A and B are shown apart, each in its own frame.
Chain A
């Protein structure tokens, strides 16, 4: 019953949050300097030409009027038409979303694997030089932003040891039989592992760049939780029963220590998606982030609105899932 109430409450607050985001983004991008008509004024344009173009894009109305028109469209699934790309915004953002989701999930998997490995190794070899090395590596991974990791990876694995692709999502000459934009998933479903390999070759470096800082956070938190758990009575009892240290960590300590890390992973996933904006640009990856930068540069107002709303839906959705998962896993919350 508590879980249902939590769900309803969170759905209501999510709706309010999304409305607030829509209002803020709509008004803010119209108030900040730079408008799409000024961006496309050719040499020799007169005041009449400016007025004509302004009216053409519906920017001649007051901002509240524009919001009402846009809001009414959104309620009917019409997010408007991109000024630069000249296509429906909803189709554009939904078309790009799979690429960004696949990249983010791959980065998350890499981060969990790297961070988990670092935490377990650090716990197993605690108070040794290995743990010190892991702490130093964690510190470095955290202090360098992901786009700088991206540049380093391009230099190392793109130029010096060119083993990975450094731009794009897939090799242009390949014929893609896909019907969705979830290329990676679909290549696996269709058992087209040649395409899977090509996609991974393109995704590996951007995903790795995104994963490094997150792996450090996961590693640090999980290691700390594990270390605390290792001092608890039931862990000591397991040791006295003759279990190996590895088994004690893996079977006894980890299940309890992982809960705060899971919460963190959920929250960080939303930040990971936010981080794709710069990384996708750097690696010319055709995702939502790359599109977002172009939209901002070109002051493509409908597209900016669509992308921000979608990001907000993802953020609130992920947070909702995390909260509900946490509530489901936590007996105190589950039973009220």
Chain B
């Protein structure tokens, strides 16, 4: 009996001891705490899988600057480069580097850093997954605050990549001195925050860069906790342990937004269904019926609590080649007629498999279930196959996806090459629709030097794709962000949650 009492007393004492140890959260926010939805595997933003992971770019952009600044509306603005462009015959690029910028260690940022970063990115040996883009430039030269390079192969989007994946400027002298391992341990950039402490899988603590060329951030200290579980993130802000979080279920967002600052912003990420040019998908009536049978608005309203924007092409309204006149309306009667023309009906449905992830994106599986239900009403019987996202990537690269496959596609630069282009161009490892007609339409656009003509060309391609139902665009995702009343967040349409864009209320 004594033992039991002692045990209970020990447990109680432990509970009390630990409870009094908790840090109290002051009402005034001295240290901004953010519960982030992903972890940061590596500090080099130009190498390895992390470099092409869109969800962690916000962390990189807190410490490093990109060559060109991307504003919250996705439009470019002067950053470390204040001017950029091609010469008249587009055989050379030129860039002007901002004066008066310093690295986090106090050393001056120079044109040499830009030239070295570009050259390093173009070097296949470094493991930059986007090397093929940077490799279109060569013979980098830095003189004063100017950088030039020769164009090996014209890429109209090269300057857009300068504010996209791996488009970061790293410190030449420091990196050369400390090496890759040293840089991982103590990374420095020119960005708004400096790394103070980093625990992998746990948190990164940032200190404001008082010398930041864009102005010192509002919060001197920011701790970003890596909280990958959505329920735990909600608990973080609900308990006051964190001030800001993102990417929670929309139901939770609706429940909590009344007592907090809630932001729901359409971001550069879309839900779509790849159609593979195999089996029944070779029949245009089946494809067109599959598109016409889907009520995208109803899916957004009923499954995503209204948080989503139905789309008709792979371009969202804030992308460069968005054309609001291209429409693929919900028309179940048309779907039935099209299927009837191919000999299918509700009693004799066309059958195929649709693949989807489950839980990778908000309500992905439920969305496909709803779509399959809508299809069933017009004469399409689709069998749902659930797979992991890793399997999707492998199957897609090998062109072995099922006739239909759900996926999400991000494109934070908003250029049509990085949406329609890579998703629908047959030779691309990301495309599974390989018909020659589409390849022929896209081919001339890769090297088109007239920007207006290039964008119009992509709009025409988007219209052609919609008319032939080569893909099923579904919706643009909306990113939910919750912040404590004392914090004002400026959401970025790329989906990056940037602490330097947060202000005190």
Contacts and interface: CB of A to CB of B under 8 A. Distances in A.
Contacts of B165: 42
Contact of A50 (B205, B239, B418, B429): B429
Interface stretch (A68-76, A116-124, A225-233, A324-332): A116-124
Given A166-B232, A173-B223, A39 B49 contact: yes
Given A113-B11, A151-B231, A162-B239, A197 B18 contact: yes
B19 A164 contact: yes
B133 A44 contact: yes
Contacts of B395: 33
A315 to B, nearest CB: 22
A46 to B, nearest CB: 6
Nearest to A202: B18
A284 B225 contact: yes
Interface stretch (A19-27, A83-91, A260-268): A83-91
Given A34-B388, A38-B397, A86 B184 contact: yes
Contacts of B130: 42
Contact of B225 (A163, A168, A198, A282): A168
B498 interface: no
Chain A at the B interface: SS class? helix
B452 interface: no
A114 B387 CA distance: 41
A290 B390 CA distance: 18
Interface string B213-231: 0000000010101111101
B201 A36 contact: no
B227 A200 contact: no
Q: Which of A43, A47, A198, A290 has the most CB of B within 10 A?
A: A43
Nearest to A204: B18
A284 B239 contact: no
Interface stretch (A6-14, A136-144, A153-161, A305-313): A153-161
A35 B388 CA distance: 12
A294 B201 contact: yes
A190 interface: no
Contacts of A250: 3
A284 B202 CA distance: 6
B436 interface: no
A11 B195 CA distance: 46
A277 interface: no
Contacts of A299: 390
A174 B48 CA distance: 31
A116 B7 CA distance: 9
Nearest to B198: A172
Contact of A172 (B1, B129, B197, B232): B197
Q: Which of B390, B427, B430 has the most CB of A within 10 A?
A: B390
A201 interface: yes
B387 A172 contact: no
Nearest to B388: A34
A329 B239 CA distance: 49
A167 interface: yes
Contacts of A281: 228-229
A253 interface: no
A166 B235 contact: yes
Interface string B100-144: 000000000000000000000000100101111100000000000
Contacts of B418: 43-44
A282 B391 CA distance: 24
Interface stretch (B36-44, B316-324, B377-385): B36-44
B41 A84 contact: yes
Nearest to A116: B7
30 contacts: A34-B388, A34-B394, A38-B393, A38-B396, A41-B393, A45-B132, A45-B429, A49-B131, A52-B124, A84-B49, A86-B41, A86-B48, A86-B184, A162-B240, A162-B241, A163-B18, A164-B22, A166-B235, A166-B239, A167-B232, A168-B225, A172-B223, A194-B21, A197-B21, A198-B23, A201-B22, A246-B1, A246-B3, A286-B202, A299-B390
- The 7 nearest A-B residue pairs measured at CB: A34-B390, A197-B21, A43-B422, A33-B391, A286-B202, A163-B19, A38-B393
Given A48-B132, A50-B397, A201-B19, 6 more contacts: A39-B390, A41-B429, A52-B131, A86-B180, A166-B236, A168-B202
Interface of A: 33-36, 38-50, 52-53, 56, 83-87, 96, 110, 113-114, 116-117, 120-121, 124, 151, 154-155, 158-159, 162-169, 171-173, 194, 197-198, 200-201, 204, 246, 250, 281-286, 290-291, 294, 297-299
